[in-house]
Amino acid sequence: MPKMKTKSSAKKRFKMTASGQVKAQPAGKRHGMIKRSNDFIRNARGTMILSDADAKIVKIYMPYNR
């Protein structure tokens, strides 16, 4: 049986926690910071845990990170 392939874009963008949740960077911090509020910029720091619906999609892309 051949090995399954991991999506290269997914392995660069997401990490898995030990309990199986998916960590990701919040969106919207690449450019256009002047129009964003300070609250938005502060809340988008660090990483966040994806919702169950989004995590289900990412886990299909990363078959060996479970």
Q: How far apart are CA 39 and CA 59, in angstroms?
A: 31
Question: Could you state, in order of their start, the residue ranges of all structural domains in the chain?
Answer: 8-60
Q: Average the pLDDT over 51-66 and give the result.
A: 94
Q: Average the pLDDT over 55-60 and give the result.
A: 96
What class is the 8-60 domain?
few secondary structures
Q: Is 65 helix (H, G, I), strand (E, B) or coil?
A: coil
**Per-residue pLDDT tens for 18-54?**
999 999 999 999 999 999 999 999 999 999 999 999 9
Half-sphere exposure at residue 51, Cβ-oriented, CA atoms within 13 angstroms: 2
pTM of the model: 0.84
Q: Which residue has the tokens 């990363």?
A: 62
